[in-house]
Amino acid sequence: MKKLFISLFIFIGFTANASSLTDSIKVLDFKPYKIDYPSSWRLKAGCAVNECSILSPADTLSWPDGYTESINLTFNPLPSASYTADQYATYSIGYLPKVVKNFKVIEKKKLKSNVIRVTYSGEKDTHKQTWRQYYYVKSSKVYIVTFSAETSKYPAYQPFIEPFLNSFTLK
């Protein structure tokens, strides 16, 4: 019941702003990629092509709001030109339990031959979190797009943020 209430509360808040949502989308546009994000969110200081965070405003689901939801973008070189998105996802799933307590894969899905989406949960920095992470492989690099939220708020944020995550495009 609590999750339903939280989802409804966020939905009402987002719906109230929906009429201006299409007018209030910002675009982060770097040479290798671009992504849309909500205009009420802000770029973290120091945002650069190889590492950038887009931070949510405080929400009203808990007071005080002790966690900032975010979209994080980064890219890394791959060990070889033949390294695939699936291989990187497998590597990542093997590594993440070392840095995320109680790590659990919720979903792993191949979206395209060069794109894998992994959703997982766990605890980090004293917060129970859920992450939705996309691995895009192109030109011997992996581009990683990650949305992170408190696990209790993830069901409310996910439908709102998904179109922005899906707007990510490699050039």
Per-residue pLDDT, 58 = 84
Residues of the chain with pLDDT under 70: 1-23, 60-63
Per-residue pLDDT, 6 = 45
Token digits for 75? 């890219």
Query: Would you say 36 and 27 are in contact if contact means Cβ atoms under 8 Å apart?
Result: yes
Query: Would you say 72 and 52 are in contact if contact means Cβ atoms under 8 Å apart?
Result: yes
What's the whole-model pTM score?
Answer: 0.85
Per-residue pLDDT, 135 = 99
Per-residue pLDDT, 23 = 53
Per-residue pLDDT, 10 = 47
Per-residue pLDDT, 66 = 79
Rounded distance, CA 90 to CA 87, Å? 5
- Contacts for 42-48: CB closer than 8 Å, 24+ residues apart: 44/70
Domains, the chain, with CATH or none: 2-170 (3.40.1000.10)
